[in-house]
Structure 1
Amino acid sequence: MAKVNKYGLSRTIPADVRRKVRQQSGYGCVICGMGVIQYEHVVPEYHEAKFHDPLAITLLCPSCHSKVTTGFYSKQKVLQAMKLPAAKQTGFSKDFFDFCGPHPSIKIGGMTLVRCHSPVIIYDRPILKIESPKELGAPFLLSGIFCDKEGKPTLEIVENEWRAHSDSWDVEVSAGEITVRDSPRNIVLKLKVLPPDVILVETLKMRFGFVDININGETINLKSPMSDLTLSHCLAEDCRVGISIYSLISTPQIYPSLLTRLIRNTYSITS
């Protein structure tokens, strides 16, 4: 396949153009909303394009892209979907993690959690939890929530289905990684999966209630008005709970009604 078209235009779309295409598409296939995507020159098609125009490029999942290239979907269908992208209508792009292997292991910064039902609990609410298969041969089920530095959810996981919020500044999905940015070059979440049983949280800048969570490389820092905790090179294995902090049950009840109302109103993960 030629690396340039007849006008000398490279197949490589510049990073800033790709970001604009992602933003206007809601970070998912404009037809179905799935989050694993490919870039498609619509009108003009790539072989007739003189430059990479973000208004003429969109996002399609491999399935919808194949239906376009094989003639089962028309260009008109794509153009109509570009006006009302599926992910913007639902509020998120989505896809599924593959956990068809043994109990998933999770590495969060410098903390590794192996065969752990609730890897992280804050204010008695699980940030991540893993449930057993519902039937023989079914996968383990991961649920969780990630937020930005202001506490606004950016990525939710509901029984292996991940949902990237379409109002984020940027969401990029590539090579088994989900990267969320809140501004140029500022990553608030970088998550990587190694199917069928490993998930890595490599970068995180998140607020949950009054707790700031910062993950960078091999360290995880949890900071609140009450404490400042840094962990690295930790292992939790064969336990129900990996780390539980700021419990409203076991710690002094400092403004309990305010804390409980804040957490219940903002986050939906339940134990």
Structure 2
Amino acid sequence: MREIRAKIEAAIKREVRQRCGFGCVVCGKPFYEYDHINEYSKVKEHEADNLTLLCPDHHAEKTRGLRSADQVRDANAAPFNRRMGSSSPYRLAYGGTVSKVSIGSNSFVQTMGSISEPLVLNGEPLVRVRTESGNLLVSARLFDASGAVILTIDDNELKYDTGIWDVEFVSDRLIVREAHRKILAKIVFSPPDSITVERAHFSHEGLSVQVTAREILYRTKRGKLSISGNSVLDIPYPRGVVLTDENHELGSLPAAINVPVRVG
């Protein structure tokens, strides 16, 4: 019978993120999983001092016995990003005063410290960016073409379907594949201030879009339409592209691009 665990409290996660320098303690990658240094099956609780951040590769090494708890404990005592000053080459401890998110050639520039929701479907933010202690934290839900969730990023914490063929970092890119040479999603990180969604599927309550490097594509009764080439600056628009079908109400937050979609 599978063990049911209580969720790790948000305050504990925040403490662990800040202590670990917002990245894997071994290599500094900014997308990570929370690891119990002494296994949860033994301690039966979530304590900040026993939690650390590991990227999927180093977490898998520990799970398979290729990296010992003592080795992880040593890395946790001197996290990579704390030693180096920032993660490299995945440097999400961004400097400067602004952050820029691009989705399908649509760019949204926000003052650091504000919350940005560049893509919203039927009232649900599917891409969200905020800062904490000067670090950029990304939240997103990625889908396959059928509308099933394949990967979730929650304040840079990766959670994904174990049936995915491959999830990896290549240079400055997070790439999700469903088969050899078949990419489902690609997110590119460009220090010191930019994130670009080059390829992805997003879906919520009957409304779906596909992102390519050039555009955001969606279907209506008139066929396939696209949104591309927009550039939006700052605070008046906490939301970027908002698509809403006839079964949902338009949200109250200001949006740069508000698109009513008739899918029925």
Q: Smaller-chain TM-score range?
A: 0.5 to 0.7
The residue number in structure 2 matching 1:34 is 54
1:188 aligns to what SS in structure 2?
strand
C-alpha RMSD of matched pairs (Å): 3.8
What is the letter of the counterpart of residue 128 of structure 2?
K
How much does 1:99 deviate?
A: 4.1
Q: 2:146 aligns with which of 133, 147, 150?
A: 150
Give the 5 Å matches for 1:1-271.
Answer: 34-35=54-55, 37=57, 60=61, 98-101=92-95, 102-115=97-110, 117-133=116-132, 137-224=133-220, 228-238=224-234, 239-246=237-244, 248-250=248-250
SS of 2:238's partner is strand
Specify the SS of the correspondent of 1:37. Answer: helix
Percent identity, aligned pairs only, is: 20
Partner of 1:76: none
Q: Structure 1: 5+ residue runs without aligned partners?
A: 1-26, 39-57, 74-95, 256-271
Give the direction of change, closer, same or farther, for the CA distance of 1:104–1:157 in structure 2 (3 Å limit): farther
Q: Deviations over 1:200-227 (max 9, x none)?
A: 1111244443233222222221225576
Deviations 1:137-173 (A, max 9, x none): 4424322211111222222121232334322122222
Contact 1:212–1:224 (CA<8 Å) still a contact in 2? no
- 1:124 is aligned with what amino acid? G
Q: How many residues align?
A: 180
Q: Whole-Å Cα distance in 2 between the matches of residues 180 and 171 of structure 1?
A: 5
Contact kept? 1:147, 1:208, Cα under 8 Å: no
Q: Normalization by structure 2: what TM-score?
A: 0.55
Higher relative contact order (CA 8 A, sep 6+): 1
Instruction: Please say if residues 141 and 202 of structure 2, whose CA atoms lie closer than 8 Å, have aligned partners that are also in contact.
Output: no
Larger radius of gyration, structure 1 or 2?
A: 1
- Cα offset, 1:103, TM superposition: 3.7
Change (3 A) 1:31 1:140: closer
- Give the SS at the match of 1:104: strand
CA distance in 2, matches of 1:179, 1:252: 29
Once the 2 structures are TM-superposed, how far is the Cα of residue 244 of structure 1 from its aligned partner? 0.7
Please give the alpha-carbon distance, in whole angstroms, between the structure 1 residues aligned to 2:192 and 2:144. Answer: 27
Residues 254 and 211 (structure 1), Cα distance of their counterparts in 2 relative to 1, 3 Å cut: closer
**Whole-angstrom CA distance in 2 between matches of 1:120 and 1:168:** 24
TM-score, length-normalised on structure 1?
0.54
Indicate how the Cα distance of structure 1 residues 226 and 212 shifts in structure 2: closer, same or farther if over 3 A, else same: farther
| Distance of aligned partners of 1:145 and 1:224 in 2 relative to their CA distance in 1, 3 Å threshold | farther
> After superposition, what is the alpha-carbon deviation per residue over 1:99-125, rounded to whole angstroms, capped at 9, x for unaligned?
433442111121111117211111011
**How far apart are 1:230 and its partner, in Å?**
0.5
Residues 163 and 226 of structure 1, relative CA distance in 2, 3 Å threshold: farther
Gaps of 5+ in 2: 1-31, 38-52, 72-89, 251-259
Q: CA deviation at 1:130?
A: 2.3
Separation of aligned partners in 2, 1:212 and 1:254: 10
Q: Structure 1 244/205 Cα, relative in aligned 2: closer, same or farther at 3 Å?
A: closer
